[in-house]
């Protein structure tokens, strides 16, 4: 994965949590693509680690691009949605504990 996006998402996640926010938007990866990715609290499990999933949506995707949303997991492989090109639809990953944030990846079709 693009380590810069993951690092920025992880940093933004830490800043968002310090500020009390539950949702953190990933940075824009491509000027011709308008997307957001958020880490969303699914289950507050008391004294156990909270469970999160990544959700994302694009309002614009360049004609020769595809996008996927990912949940940055600390101790395991990241969860990803399938690649998509449809706009104005919300996509979600599986849920997991011990996560750092969410990000999206843009790739040529």
pLDDT in tens, 72-100: 999 999 999 999 999 999 999 999 999 99
Write the pLDDT tens digit of every residue in 11-23.
Answer: 444 333 333 334 4
Asked whether residue 8 carries a pLDDT value surpassing 50, the answer given is: no
* Residues sharing a CB contact under 8 Å with residue 95, sequence separation 6 or more, in sequence order: 42, 43, 51, 52, 53
Query: What's the mean per-residue pLDDT of the chain?
Result: 80
Q: What stretches of 5-98 adopt beta strand conformation (E)?
A: 34-43, 51-60, 65-73, 79-80, 91-92, 96-97
User: Where exactly are the structural domains of the chain?
Assistant: 3-108
Query: Under a CB-based contact definition with an 8 Å cutoff, are residues 33 and 62 in contact?
Result: yes
End-to-end CA distance of the chain: 17
Q: Are 92 and 79 in contact (CB under 8 A)?
A: no
């Amino acid at each position: 994965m693009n380590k810069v996006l993951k690092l920025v998402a992880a940093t933004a996640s830490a800043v968002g949590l310090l500020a009390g926010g539950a949702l953190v938007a990933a940075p824009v990866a491509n000027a011709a693509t308008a997307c957001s990715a958020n880490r969303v609290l699914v289950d507050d499990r008391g004294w156990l680690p909270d469970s999160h999933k990544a959700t994302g949506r694009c309002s614009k995707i360049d004609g020769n691009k595809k996008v996927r949303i990912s949940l940055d997991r600390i101790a395991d492989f990241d969860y990803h949605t399938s690649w998509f090109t449809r706009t104005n639809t919300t996509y979600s990953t599986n849920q997991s504990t011990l996560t750092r944030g969410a990000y999206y990846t843009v790739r040529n079709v």
